[in-house]
Amino acid sequence: MGEFKTILVTGGSGLVGRAIRTVVEAENRTDEKWVFVNSKDADLCDLSATRELFGKHKPSHVVHLAAMVGGLFHNMSHNLDFLRNNLHMNDNVLQVSHETGVKKVVSCLSTCIFPDKTSYPIDETMIHNGPPHASNFGYSYAKRMIDVMNRAYHEQHGCLFTSVVPCNVFGPHDNYNLESSHVIPGLIRKLHDVIAGEGTTFTVLGTGKPLRQFIYSLDLARLFLWVLRDYNEVEPIILSVDEEAEVSIRQVAEELARAFDFKGEIAFDTTKADGQYKKTASNAKLRKYLPDFQFTPFSVAIKESVDWYRENSANARN
């Protein structure tokens, strides 16, 4: 155990924030005070509200998760909002962290901000190598600027502001809104509704062929804690399952059908977009640091996520 830390988690009510909360509450450490905040505590697009929030909690460390986040379809229709909201939030959080002497900030990028035309697997050195996929360029450029700012704060002021790059995340407390959700929570919601309505067809958007790496939010939370406590590079680090764990959207739908014990038909609406075909990322850097880290098997994590939604659908973010 090191010196006492007060850790402010922005975006503390979201999918990743709730998972970190679950893990730190189970640890119950006495040398860390965790404060989880959301947009009701402060609109981080507003600089003075951000200053007030930091003045109130006086964090020594910040886990910056707050962001406008959404799946493929929400990104396609709101690129400007994704760009502006995320640029404002990130600039405010990093600037106020600097002003108030925060010792370390860990922010969140994503494997979906990498160049569209790239060689595979993608690694941490390739973030700025070319334009992102057109479907989410607003989110991508805003996220890429976090890495640019981290380097600039380090160069000019010596700050330890770093970032992690998760692949597609899923788990309890996700966003299940069909307009804005990522694929797994969207399909959980859809299948739940099909079964409730005694339907026999589960319709997946697109061809089902795109490939994705998915990380369980509770695994990501354990990795986040390691980054906060022990990773001291400014350069980003990819937090993803292994390359061999990549699955197609069709396999995701089949795993969900198993978890729900759904015996009906799985159909594909090929009039809907597929987005980027794949974004295969290498976790070699992570594996160098943590060769023995065990990810929860996909089928187990899917089952737990489905069971959570079945129990909590009435109060979930639908």
What are the residue numbers of the active site?
139
- Which residue number is nearest to ligand NAP in terms of Cβ? 14
**178-197: which residues touch ligand NAP (CB under 6 A)?**
182
274 interacts with ligand GDP by CB under 6 A: yes
The item of ligand NAP, ligand GDP, none sharing an interface with residue 69, based on CB under 5 to 8 Å by kind, is ligand NAP
CB nearer ligand NAP, residue 39 or residue 203: 39
The item of ligand GDP, ligand NAP, none sharing an interface with residue 204, based on CB under 5 to 8 Å by kind, is ligand GDP
249 interacts with ligand NAP by CB under 6 A: no
| Pairing verdict, β 237-239 and 160-166 | parallel
140 interacts with ligand GDP by CB under 6 A: no
Cβ-proximal residues to 198 (8 Å cutoff; 6+ apart), any chain = none
168 interacts with ligand GDP by CB under 6 A: yes
CB nearer ligand GDP, residue 152 or residue 245: 245
64 interacts with ligand GDP by CB under 6 A: no
110 interacts with ligand NAP by CB under 6 A: yes
Pick the binder of ligand GDP from 182, 192, 222, 285 (CB under 6 A). 182
175 interacts with ligand NAP by CB under 6 A: yes
Q: Is residue 74 packed enough to be buried (19+ CB in 10 Å), middle (13-18) or exposed (0-12)?
A: buried
User: How far is residue 100 from each of residues 19, 96, 103, 239, 309, measured CA to CA in Å?
Assistant: 27, 6, 9, 28, 39
Q: What are residue 249's DSSP bridge partners?
A: none
72 interacts with ligand GDP by CB under 6 A: yes
Q: How far is the CB of 17 from ligand NAP (least distance, A)?
A: 5
CB nearer ligand GDP, residue 112 or residue 215: 112
Rounded to an integer, what distance in angstroms lies between the CA atom of residue 270 and that of residue 195? 22
**Dihedral angle, C-alpha 203, 135, 174, 248, nearest 10 °:** 50
Q: Is residue 245 packed enough to be buried (19+ CB in 10 Å), middle (13-18) or exposed (0-12)?
A: middle
Cβ count near 310 (within 10 Å): 13
Is the Cα dihedral 33, 36, 42, 48 positive or negative? positive
Q: Of 257, 263, 247, 266, nearest to 303 (Cα)? A: 257
Residue 1 corresponds to which tokens in the numbers above?
């155990």
Collapsed DSSP state (helix, strand, coil) of residue 169: strand
44 interacts with ligand NAP by CB under 6 A: yes
Pick the binder of ligand GDP from 249, 256, 281, 302 (CB under 6 A). 249
Q: Answer yes or no: are the C-beta atoms of 183 and 74 closer than 8 Å.
A: no
Q: Which residues bind ligand NAP (CB under 6 A)?
A: 10-17, 38-40, 43-45, 65-69, 89, 108, 110, 166, 168-169, 175, 182
Binding site for ligand GDP (CB under 6 A): 71-73, 112, 168, 181-183, 186-187, 204-206, 210, 212, 249, 272-276
